[in-house]
C-alpha cells in the first residue's frame, strides 16, 4: 500500500472518529477566530530573524494572512469535504513553501502554535467534557496529518529543485553529455583492457588498480551523483564495482597464481559480464539526460522551462537580500493558429524562431528568455523599476511588430505579440508571479492584442 493511500485512510479515520456536531463546533470556532489565528501564526513566524529573509510584512498582511484563514476554514470542514482533495491541498501548500524556500522548521513552529491555540480556544467553548476530548483529539489529528502531507511535498519539491539546480549548473558550464558518455565508457574499457593485458602477458593482477580507484570509479563516486537523478542505477553500478574489486578480481588473481585454467576462464567470463552490465546501466542513465543536453529548446535555442524555477528562485533570493527588483514578461504570438492554418507549420516554426532571435537581440547580459510552451515565451528582466520594465516590454512589442518573417522569396509575414508584465511584489512564491504575468497577457489578448498590460 502506498504512503499516499495510508495517509488518506488515516485522514478518513480521524474524520470518522469525531461526531458531526463536535466537528461543526470546531469549524464554527475556527471561522470566528480565523483572523486572530492567522495573526498569531505569522507573529510566531516573523519573531524569528530567519523568517524575515523569506517573508515581508507587506506580503504577510496583504496576501498570506487571508490565505491561511482560508486554509484553516477548509481544513476544519474535513468531516464534510472530499478527503482526497483536502490531502491534495496540504501537498499544494507544501509545494508553495518549498518554492518560496521557507524553511520547514519555521512552518513547523507556526503549526505548533496553531494547534495549541485552537485547542486552548476549544476549552473556552461550551462543549461538555466528552465532546471537548473528542474535539481536542480531532484538531490534533487533522493538524498532524496536514503537516505530514505538507512536509512530504516540501521534501519532494526541494529535492527536485536541488537536482534541477545542479543540472543547470552543469549545463551552463558547457557539460556535453555525448562527450561525457564517450569518455566514461572509454575509461571503463581502458580498465578492462588493463586486466586483459595483464592476463595475456602474465603480469601480476595485483598491479592493476582497483576499478574504484580508476578514473571511471572516481567519476562514479564524485561526479555521477551530481549529474544523475537515477539513484537506483548508480547503486547498481556501485555494486558491480564492489563485486569486481572485492570478489572477482581477487579470485582471478588467485587462479592466475596457479589455479585451474578452467576455473580462471569461468571467473574471467564473470568479470566481462559484470563490466558489460555496468556499460548497459551507464548507457541507461545517460539516455535519460539526452533531452537536457544544452538545456535549450530545440527549435528556438532559448532556455527550456525546466530551468525556470532555478532562475526565479535565484532572483527571489537576490530581491530579498539586496532589494533588487525584477519582472516577468509573458509573451504570446498573436493569431499563431491562423499562421499555422494559412501558411503551414513550417512557417509557424519560422515565426517562433524569428521571435526568439528578436528576444535574444534585445536581451541584456543579465536577462533570461525561455520558450514557455507552444507560441508562448517568458522573460525574466532583472534590476528594473516598473517604468523600466514597461519600457523593455514595449520595446520588445514594437520591434517584433516592425520586423518581418521571410516565408519565401516573394512573401514575408508580419506578426505581433501580446505581453503581460508582472513586477515582483514581495510574494515568496514564484508561481504567483508567473500567474500574474499570465493573467495580464490574457488581458492584453482580450484588449485587442499587440499591446502590453501590466498586472496590478
pLDDT digits (tens, 9 = 90+) for 42-74: 888 777 776 666 666 676 677 677 888 888 888
pLDDT at 440 over 80: yes
pLDDT at 238 over 50: yes
- The more confident residue out of 291 and 227 is 227
- Most confident stretch, 10-24, 79-93, 411-425: 411-425
* pLDDT band at 426; cut points 50, 70, 90: confident
The arithmetic mean of pLDDT across residues 153-182, rounded, is 64
pLDDT at 102 over 80: no
pLDDT at 234: 86
The answer to whether 249 and 214 have CB atoms below 8 angstroms apart is no
The answer to whether 326 and 311 have CB atoms below 8 angstroms apart is no
| 332 beta partners | 376, 418
pLDDT at 51: 67
The arithmetic mean of pLDDT across residues 324-353, rounded, is 91
Residue 266 parent element (H or E): helix 261-289
- The whole-angstrom distance between residue 177's C-alpha and the CA centroid of its chain comes to 21
Phi, psi of 371 (to 5 degrees): -85, 110
The whole model's pTM is what? 0.52
pLDDT at 1: 42
Amino acid at each position: 500500500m502506498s504512503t499516499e493511500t495510508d495517509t488518506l485512510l488515516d485522514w478518513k479515520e480521524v474524520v470518522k472518529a469525531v461526531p458531526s456536531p463536535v466537528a461543526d463546533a470546531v469549524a464554527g470556532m475556527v471561522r470566528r477566530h480565523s483572523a486572530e489565528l492567522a495573526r498569531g501564526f505569522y507573529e510566531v513566524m516573523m519573531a524569528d530573524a530567519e523568517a524575515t529573509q523569506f517573508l515581508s510584512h507587506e506580503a504577510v498582511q496583504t496576501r498570506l494572512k487571508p490565505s491561511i484563514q482560508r486554509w484553516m476554514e477548509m481544513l476544519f470542514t474535513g468531516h464534510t469535504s472530499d478527503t482526497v482533495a483536502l490531502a491534495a491541498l496540504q501537498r499544494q501548500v507544501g509545494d508553495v513553501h518549498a518554492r518560496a524556500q521557507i524553511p520547514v522548521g519555521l512552518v513547523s513552529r507556526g503549526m505548533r502554535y496553531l494547534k495549541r491555540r485552537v485547542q486552548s480556544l476549544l476549552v473556552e467553548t461550551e462543549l461538555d467534557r466528552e465532546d471537548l476530548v473528542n474535539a481536542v483529539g480531532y484538531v490534533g489529528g487533522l493538524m498532524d496529518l496536514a503537516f505530514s502531507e505538507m512536509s512530504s511535498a516540501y521534501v519532494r519539491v526541494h529535492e527536485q529543485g536541488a537536482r534541477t539546480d545542479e543540472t543547470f549548473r552543469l549545463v551552463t558550464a558547457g557539460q556535453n553529455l555525448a562527450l561525457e558518455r564517450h569518455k566514461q565508457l572509454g575509461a571503463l574499457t581502458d580498465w578492462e583492457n588493463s586486466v586483459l593485458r595483464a592476463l595475456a602477458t602474465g603480469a601480476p593482477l595485483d598491479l592493476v588498480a582497483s576499478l574504484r580507484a580508476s578514473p571511471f570509479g572516481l567519476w562514479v563516486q564524485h561526479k555521477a551523483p551530481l549529474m544523475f537523478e537515477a539513484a537506483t542505477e548508480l547503486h547498481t553500478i556501485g555494486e558491480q564495482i564492489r563485486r569486481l574489486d572485492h570478489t572477482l578480481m581477487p579470485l582471478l588473481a588467485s587462479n592466475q597464481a596457479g589455479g585451474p585454467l578452467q576455473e580462471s576462464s569461468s571467473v574471467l567470463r564473470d568479470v566481462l559480464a559484470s563490466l558489460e552490465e555496468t556499460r548497459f546501466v551507464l548507457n541507461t542513465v545517460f539516455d535519460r539526460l539526452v533531452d537536457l543536453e544544452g538545456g535549450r529548446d530545440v527549435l528556438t535555442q532559448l532556455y527550456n522551462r525546466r530551468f525556470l524555477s532555478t532562475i526565479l528562485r535565484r532572483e527571489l533570493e537576490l530581491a530579498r537580500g539586496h532589494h533588487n527588483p525584477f519582472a516577468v514578461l509573458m509573451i504570446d504570438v498573436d493569431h499563431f493558429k491562423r499562421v499555422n492554418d494559412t501558411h503551414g507549420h513550417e512557417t509557424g516554426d519560422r515565426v517562433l524562431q524569428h521571435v526568439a532571435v528578436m528576444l535574444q537581440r534585445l536581451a541584456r547580459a543579465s536577462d533570461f528568455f525561455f520558450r514557455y510552451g507552444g507560441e508562448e515565451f517568458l522573460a525574466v528582466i532583472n534590476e528594473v523599476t516598473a517604468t523600466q520594465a514597461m519600457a523593455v516590454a514595449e520595446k520588445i512589442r514594437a520591434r517584433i511588430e516592425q520586423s518581418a518573417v521571410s516565408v519565401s522569396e516573394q512573401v514575408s509575414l508580419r506578426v505581433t505579440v501580446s505581453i503581460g508584465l508582472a513586477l515582483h511584489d514581495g510574494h515568496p512564491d514564484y508561481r504567483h508571479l508567473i500567474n500574474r504575468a499570465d493573467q495580464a497577457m490574457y488581458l492584453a489578448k482580450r484588449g485587442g492584442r499587440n499591446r502590453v498590460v501590466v498586472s496590478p
